[in-house]
Amino acid sequence: MLLLAMDRRLGANLDLEAHQQTVLRASWRHDMAGHPDEVYYGRQYWHWIESHLGSEYSSRAGQYLDLGCGQGRLSLRLAAWCRGDGGCVTGVDISERAIEQARSYARRAQLGNLDYKVADILTYTAGQQASSVHGVFLMEVTFILPKYRTVLAEVVRLLVPGGLLFVAFRPQYYNALYMVNERLWGSLDCLLKAREGRLWGGETYLTWQTADEVHQLLEGSLGLTLLDQIGIGCCSGIPGDPHAKIVRPTELSAQEVEALMKLEITLGRQFPDAGRYMLAVARKTPTSEHPRPS
């Protein structure tokens, strides 16, 4: 209940409409499924996702959600993975443009088990039946999702016992590198003392965490069992990332890309805080029961 109370207080002090419009404008400019650098990170995510899906589930049948799916970077892979066993995937995003592109990609791939919906994540999850979903993706969304705690509580409610959550958080360390690279010293106190706010000014409300804090959130607050934490993109990035000062995947030859992939996969588990994002994998246990947010 503490998590939900924190999100309610946030709602009273945040212009959600202005924040949402800023996020939407950014999504229009960047295709998460088609951009060559994002294809690389999609592969890196899928390495870990497929490994956990394969080890946790004896069958691929079931219902899966990709919340904040964008243009379908991971829901397309998930639908291809589960369609042989009758699994179904629903992708949800507030951006109509992103969903239109995702639907186009799904038609091209002939994925009849994949459905996309234009909806607010919290509104959508609050309307779904408890214990009805076998796996949930919430990838690269929490850092621009002010009420992410309430969404995560809803996700726990939706998951079947034994169901898996894949969620990617923005590390505090990433923001520290960004701040130094851009010389945004006025954000220092906020970065160190808070875990959410208008870190760089403007309308966008951001959240960030450490690996230890993610562990506490998922296990201590939400009652899940944390299975894994991985840094995604520990040594590389896309334009705008501090990591891009090292290298972008699209700057490399095919052989170099595979070497970078091997390096980042090897380092990811050792240094989850060092990635562009932290991927956490968690399982709902029979005791992970939480009240529905009001």
Instruction: Kindly report the CATH number assigned to the domain that includes residue 6.
Output: 3.40.50.150
Instruction: Provide the number of structural domains found in the chain.
Output: 1
**Within a domain: 56:** yes
Please give the residue range of the domain that contains residue 46.
2-283
pLDDT confidence of residue 294: 29
Domain annotation covers residue 289: no
- Whole-model pTM above 0.85? yes
Q: Is residue 288 part of a domain?
A: no
CA 131, CA 289: separation in Å to the nearest integer? Answer: 10
Q: Inform me whether the pLDDT recorded for 46 exceeds 70.
A: yes
Contact 223, 208 (CB under 8 A): no
Q: Residue 115 is which amino acid?
A: D
**Residue 268 counted as domain residue:** yes
- CA dist., res. 158 & res. 150, Å (int): 13
Residue 291 lies inside a defined structural domain of this protein = no
In a domain, 202, yes or no: yes
Q: Are residues 69 and 121 in contact, defined by beta-carbon separation less than 8 angstroms? A: no
Q: What digits encode the pLDDT tens for the residues 152-192?
A: 999 999 999 999 999 999 999 999 999 999 999 999 999 99
Question: Is the torsion defined by CA of 93, 99, 103, 106 positive or negative?
Answer: negative
Q: Report if residue 71 sits inside a domain.
A: yes
Query: Rounded to an integer, what distance in angstroms lies between the CA atom of residue 227 and that of residue 166?
Result: 10
Whether 61 maps to a domain, the answer reads yes
- Of 26-40, 200-214, 279-293, the range with the lowest mean pLDDT is 279-293
* Residue 227 or 15, more confident: 227
Residue 214 pLDDT class (50, 70, 90 cuts): very high
Structure confidence at residue 34 (pLDDT): 81
Q: What is the overall mean pLDDT for the chain?
A: 90
The answer on pLDDT for 26 being more than 70 is no
Indicate the range of 82-86, 167-171, 183-187, 255-259 predicted with least confidence.
82-86
